[in-house]
C-alpha cells in the first residue's frame, strides 16, 4: 500500500486569479516547515498538495501534525493511494478499515468525494457499496451514519485516496501571501497573540521590542526573545529589532506631565516602529491593543496614538475579551512565557492616574518640550537586530 500525506486547503474561497499565487506560497511554506525533518516530495495537483516521505526519522503522523500548523492548511490526512478503479478502491478501503478497527473503533461510516463528477458510480453509491463490503468483512464493526466513531474517507481524483486519520489544520492564509508587517512585541500576553492572528491572515512579520535597561531587566528581554521564537515556527524564522529606549523614556519622564507619560511614550514607540517598518519594507504596524482594557486603550487614547504615524496600524485583538486572548495564548504556547514575572515597564514610568481621555492638541502641546525627531533619530542609530 502506498502511503502519502494529503494536504487540504481552503479550495472554495480560492477560486480566482490569486489561486496560483496562494498555492505556490503554501507549497513553499510547507517545504520550509519540513526543512529539518527529512527529505520529502511535494506534489501540487487539483486543489490538493500531496507529500511523499522519501527519508525521515519522523512518522507520517508526526509529519502530518507539523504540516497542519502551516497557515492555509485546513487538514492533513494520512492516506493510502490507489488507481481510480472501483474494485481497487473497495479492496483498499477494507484494508484501511482494518487499521481503524485495530485502533479500537467499532462504528464507522464511509464518505466519498469525487473531484470528477463524471466518475461513475456516484459518491453516494460508492459509499454504500464500500460500507457494505467493510461491514461484511468484520463481525463487530457496525455502520453508524449519524455519529460514527470513525469515518473512512474516499477521495477520487486522477488517482484515489483512502484514509481515516486526519489532523485539523490552523486554517487562515499562507504566511507571506498578504505582505509584511512589523509587530510591536512586548513581554505581555496580548502582543504575541496579535502576531499570531496577523500571521494567520497571511502577513509575514518582523518584530520589535523597546527595551529600557536597567529599568527593564535582561530577563524581560530574554522573555521577548523566547516569545519571538515561539512565533517563528509560523513565520519561518523571525527577526527581532531591539530598541534601546531608556534615554528616551527618561527624557519623557523628566519633561512631560506624568499623567500623559504612557500616551506620549506610546506615540514615540509608534514613530520609531514606523521607521523600522519602512526599512524592512513593512506595510503595517501590528499591536496587541484591545479596546478599553487599560487607560492607554480607550478610544481617545487609541486615536491619539494612531495619529503619531501615517502607516496602517493593525490591532487584531481590538474586539476580543481577555479570556479569549488567553485561550489563544495557551493554544500557541506563549501564555506560560508571557506570565513570567519580569515587568516590561518599570513602575516609575507608569503614572498613578494616567489620563484616560487625552486630547491630541494637549498632547502635542506637551510634546513641544521634548525633541521627538532627535529621539527617533537616536533610537534608529543604535537598535540591535537579532535573527531567531
Point out which residues bind Mg ion (CB under 5 A). Answer: 186, 188
Q: Say if residue 325 is preceded by a cis peptide, omega within 30 of 0.
A: no
**Cβ 324 to ligand ATP shortest distance, Å:** 14
- From residue 357, alpha-carbon distances to 91, 263, 270, 360 in Å are 71, 10, 19, 10
Which of 123, 165, 275, 293 contacts ligand ATP by CB under 6 A? 293
The enclosing H or E element of 230 equals: helix 218-235
Closest CA to 112 of 151, 149, 143: 151
Residue 296 contact partner, candidates Mg ion, ligand ATP, none, CB within 5 to 8 A by sort of partner: ligand ATP
**Cβ 107 to Mg ion shortest distance, Å:** 49
Which of 134, 156, 189, 302 contacts ligand ATP by CB under 6 A? 189
Q: Return the number of the residue (176 or 192) whose C-beta is nearest Mg ion.
A: 192
Report yes or no: 162 and 185 within 8 Å, Cβ to Cβ. no
For residue 142, what is its C-alpha cell?
457496525
Q: Return the number of the residue (192 or 282) whose C-beta is nearest Mg ion.
A: 192
Provide the pairing of β-strand 180-184 with 284-286.
Answer: parallel
Q: Return the number of the residue (131 or 187) whose C-beta is nearest Mg ion.
A: 187
- Can residue 249 be called a binding residue for ligand ATP (CB under 6 A)? no
Give CA–CA dist 286/193, Å, rounded.
Answer: 11
Q: Which positions from 338 through 367 interact with ligand ATP, judged by CB under 6 A? A: 344
Which of 163, 210, 234, 349 contacts ligand ATP by CB under 6 A? 210
Q: Return the number of the residue (150 or 272) whose C-beta is nearest ligand ATP.
A: 272
- Can residue 289 be called a binding residue for ligand ATP (CB under 6 A)? yes
**Cβ 188 to Mg ion shortest distance, Å:** 3
Q: Return the number of the residue (96 or 286) whose C-beta is nearest ligand ATP.
A: 286
Q: Return the number of the residue (131 or 188) whose C-beta is nearest Mg ion.
A: 188
Measured in degrees and rounded to the nearest 5, phi and psi for residue 193 equal -70, -40
**Which residue is nearest to ligand ATP, using beta carbons?**
188
Q: Return the number of the residue (169 or 181) whose C-beta is nearest ligand ATP.
A: 181
Give CA–CA dist 42/73, Å, rounded.
Answer: 14
Which of 288, 328, 334, 366 contacts ligand ATP by CB under 6 A? 288
SS3 labels along 292-346: CCCHHHCHHHHHHHHCCCCCEEECCCCCCCHHHHHHHHHHCCCHHHHCCCCCCCC
Q: Cβ of 109: how many Cβ atoms within 10 Å? A: 18
Which of 92, 184, 198, 227 contacts ligand ATP by CB under 6 A? 184
Candidate ranges 30-38, 128-136, 165-173, 285-293; the one touching ligand ATP (CB under 6 A): 285-293
Q: Return the number of the residue (33 or 297) whose C-beta is nearest ligand ATP.
A: 297
Closest CA to 63 of 161, 167, 214: 167
Residue 348 contact partner, candidates Mg ion, ligand ATP, none, CB within 5 to 8 A by sort of partner: none
Which distant-in-sequence residues (6+ apart) come within 8 Å of 99 by Cβ? 164
Residues that bind ligand ATP (CB under 6 A): 184-186, 188-191, 209-210, 287-289, 293-294, 296-297, 344
Amino acid at each position: 500500500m502506498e502511503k502519502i500525506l494529503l494536504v487540504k486547503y481552503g479550495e472554495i474561497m480560492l477560486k480566482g486569479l490569486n489561486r496560483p499565487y496562494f498555492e505556490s506560497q503554501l507549497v513553499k511554506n510547507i517545504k520550509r516547515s519540513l526543512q529539518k525533518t527529512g527529505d520529502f516530495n511535494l506534489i501540487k495537483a487539483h486543489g490538493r498538495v500531496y507529500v511523499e516521505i522519501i527519508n525521515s526519522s519522523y512518522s507520517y503522523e508526526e509529519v502530518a501534525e507539523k504540516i497542519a500548523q502551516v497557515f492555509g492548511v485546513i487538514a492533513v490526512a494520512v492516506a493510502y493511494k490507489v488507481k481510480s478503479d472501483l474494485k481497487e478502491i473497495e479492496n483498499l478501503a477494507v484494508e484501511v478499515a482494518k487499521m481503524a478497527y485495530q485502533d479500537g473503533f467499532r462504528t464507522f461510516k464511509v464518505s466519498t468525494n469525487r473531484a470528477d463528477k463524471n466518475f461513475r458510480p456516484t459518491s453516494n453509491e460508492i459509499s454504500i457499496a464500500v460500507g457494505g463490503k467493510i461491514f461484511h468483512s468484520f463481525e463487530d464493526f457496525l455502520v453508524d451514519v449519524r455519529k460514527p466513531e470513525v469515518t473512512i474517507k474516499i477521495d477520487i481524483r486522477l488517482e484515489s485516496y483512502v484514509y481515516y486519520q486526519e489532523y485539523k489544520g490552523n486554517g487562515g492564509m499562507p504566511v507571506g501571501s498578504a505582505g509584511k508587517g512589523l509587530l510591536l512585541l512586548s513581554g505581555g500576553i496580548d502582543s504575541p497573540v496579535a502576531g499570531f492572528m496577523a500571521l494567520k491572515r497571511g502577513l509575514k512579520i518582523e518584530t520589535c521590542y523597546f527595551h529600557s535597561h536597567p529599568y527593564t531587566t535582561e530577563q524581560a528581554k530574554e522573555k521577548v526573545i523566547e516569545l519571538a521564537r515561539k512565533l517563528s515556527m509560523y513565520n519561518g524564522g523571525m527577526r527581532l529589532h531591539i530598541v534601546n529606549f531608556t534615554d528616551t523614556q527618561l527624557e519623557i519622564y523628566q519633561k512631560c506631565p506624568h499623567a500623559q507619560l504612557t500616551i506620549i511614550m506610546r506615540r514615540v514607540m509608534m514613530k520609531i516602529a514606523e521607521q523600522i517598518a519602512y526599512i524592512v519594507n513593512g506595510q503595517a504596524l501590528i499591536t496587541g491593543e484591545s479596546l478599553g482594557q487599560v487607560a492607554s486603550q480607550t478610544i481617545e487614547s487609541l486615536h491619539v496614538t494612531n495619529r503619531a504615524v501615517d502607516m496602517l496600524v493593525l490591532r487584531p485583538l481590538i474586539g476580543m475579551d481577555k479570556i479569549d486572548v488567553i485561550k489563544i495564548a495557551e493554544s500557541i504556547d506563549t501564555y506560560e512565557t508571557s506570565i513570567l514575572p519580569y515587568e516590561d515597564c518599570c513602575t516609575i514610568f507608569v503614572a498613578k492616574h494616567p489620563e484616560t481621555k487625552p486630547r491630541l492638541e494637549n498632547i502635542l502641546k506637551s510634546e513641544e518640550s521634548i525633541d521627538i525627531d532627535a529621539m527617533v533619530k537616536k533610537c534608529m542609530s543604535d537598535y540591535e537586530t537579532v535573527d531567531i
